[in-house]
Chains A and B, each alone.
Chain A
C-alpha cells in the first residue's frame, strides 16, 4: 500500500504571498491531520479533517485553513505568509474506524521557506 504523499516537497515563497499544500492519505484512510514542525516550537497540531469536516483545530491564526475532499485528499492553505511560517508541514492519515485515537501515519512533509 502506498504511504501518505505530499506535494510539493519544497517550496519558496515571499512574505505576503499565499500557498496551498496537498496531501493524499493512505488508501482507505478517512482522517487527515496537519502539523507544523519548526526548530523553535517543535511539532504542533494544525487541524484534523474527517469525512470532509474539520474535527479538531489547533491554536493557529485564521491565515491557516484547510479542507478535505470526498476522496479524502486534503489541502491546507496559508494566506499572507510571514517569515515565521517557514517550517516543515506534515500530513498524517489514520485508518477509518472513525472514533479517533487511531494510529497516524505521516508523509514526508513539505518544506516551506518564506523569504
Chain B
C-alpha cells in the first residue's frame, strides 16, 4: 500500500522578512537542544544550540529561545534569504551521551 509520511508543517515567508520556527519538546529532563537545517539530498547541518541553563542564545542572523516551563523551543531567522529554504529540525538531548531525539521538522520556503 501507499506509505504515509509525517505531516511536515510549512512556513512560507517573503525574502527579507524574519522567520520564527517553533518546536515543542517532550522530555523535561532534556538539558541540551540543537537546531539543524537539512537541504534536499544532504545531511542535517548544525545551526545553533542552547543548554538548559540559558533561555536565549544568538548567532549570526539566528536566535534560539528556550522556555523550559512549557517545554518550547523556537528558532528565529533574521532577514530570511532564499538560501535559508530547507527543513529545520529541533533536537533534544536528555543526557547520558549523545542520543538526540528529533522533532518532525518544519519546511521553510522563502518566496522572492
B-contacting residues of A (Cβ < 8 Å)?
4, 31, 33, 35, 39-45, 48, 50, 55-56, 58, 90, 92, 94, 100-109
B44–A106 contact, CB under 8 A? yes
B100–A45 contact, CB under 8 A? yes
B100–A101 contact, CB under 8 A? no
Task: State A31–B98 Cα separation when bound (angstroms).
Answer: 8
Q: How far is the CB of B6 from chain A (nearest CB, A)?
A: 5
Task: State A56–B105 Cα separation when bound (angstroms).
Answer: 23
A-contacting residues of B (Cβ < 8 Å)?
3-6, 31-32, 34, 36, 41-46, 49, 51, 89, 91, 93, 95-105
A-B contact count, CB below 8 Å? 78
B3–A55 contact, CB under 8 A? no
Residues of A within 8 A of B96 (CB): 55-56, 100
B5–A39 contact, CB under 8 A? yes
Residues of A within 8 A of B98 (CB): 31, 33, 48, 50, 55-56, 92, 94, 100-102, 104
A33–B99 contact, CB under 8 A? yes
| Closest partner residue, chain A, to B89 (CB atom) | A43
A100–B104 contact, CB under 8 A? no
Query: Could you say which of A39, A43, A50 contacts B3, with CB atoms under 8 Å apart?
Result: A39
Query: Could you say which of A45, A103, A109 contacts B43, with CB atoms under 8 Å apart?
Result: A109
